[in-house]
Amino acid sequence: MKTKIMNKFINGFLIAASALALLSCDNNNIDPFGSAKLKVVNAAPNSGSQRFALANIPYISDLDFLDSSVSYLTVSSGNDLIAQYRDENDNDKYAEAKFNLDDDQNYTVYLTGESRDEAAVRLYQDNLSAPASGKAKIKFIHLSGGAPSSLTFSDDKGTVLTSNLERYNQSGYTEINAGSLTIQVNGAGQSQILATLESEEFTAGKIYTVYLIGSTSSTLSIHTITHN
């Protein structure tokens, strides 16, 4: 009798463990002892207000176009974590993607695309080390499906800030003098200005991302977010 009970227990345990293993291999393999920092951005012009969830845990709501979380959110690190943006009003899924988040690292996640069919969720790692005294630190991301595949960002005096930036990639960081700066973007090797960010104020000690969005040439625009 004891043997039968024990066998049933072992069989039940193995079935449960196997199911759990299959589930963890598929999605949301969370590190129970680790965490990462995540900033959340809505860079999708026609998405309406959005909610964001990671690994089935809701983190933020009421994210309108160009809104971002005020600070970094503490989230679980792990592998195959499902990130979802959902419509604020009816909670319908707008877009999702699967990511790996390393322990003690900083990331920003963007909702992009000008329609539900074009929508995508994109993740970029951030470096929050402080810039030199009197400087601001910036990087650039090409989030546009309508611009040329490779871009050059420069100031209005023609100084190149980053070049040959491929679609959906991010640049390295550049330190600039604090103050007002106009930023322009053009296709790599081309002279036509595609979009301009006029007289943006960059504060000493701050870290920024400058990103381009737009699915057609008429909707291209440059925007910034602050990371600290």
What's the helix, strand, coil split of the chain in %, to 5? 10, 55, 35
Q: Is the pLDDT of residue 206 over 90?
A: yes
Res. 216 pLDDT band, cuts 50 70 90: confident
**Least confident window among 73-82, 122-131, 145-154, 211-220:** 211-220
* Mean pLDDT, the chain, integer: 90
Per-residue exposure over 165-196, b if at least 16 CB sit within 10 Å of its own CB, e if not: beebebbebbebebeebebbbbeeeeeeebbe
What pLDDT, in 10s, does the model give residues 87-97? 999 999 999 99
Write down the pLDDT at residue 16. 41
Around 161, how many Cα atoms within 13 Å sit in the side-chain half-sphere? 28
Hey, do 28-126 and 130-227 end up sharing a CATH topology, with the first three levels equal? yes
pLDDT digit string (tens) for 2-57?
A: 333 334 333 443 334 434 433 444 799 999 999 999 999 999 999 999 999 999 99
- The predicted pLDDT at position 217 comes to 78
Could you tell me the residue ranges of all domains in the chain? 28-126, 130-227
Q: Which fold has domain 28-126?
A: Immunoglobulin-like (2.60.40)
CATH number of 130-227: 2.60.40.1120
What predicted TM-score, i.e. pTM, was given to this entire model? 0.86
Q: What is the pLDDT of residue 6?
A: 38
According to the model, what pLDDT value does residue 19 have? 41
Q: How confident is the model at residue 218 (pLDDT cuts 50, 70, 90)?
A: confident
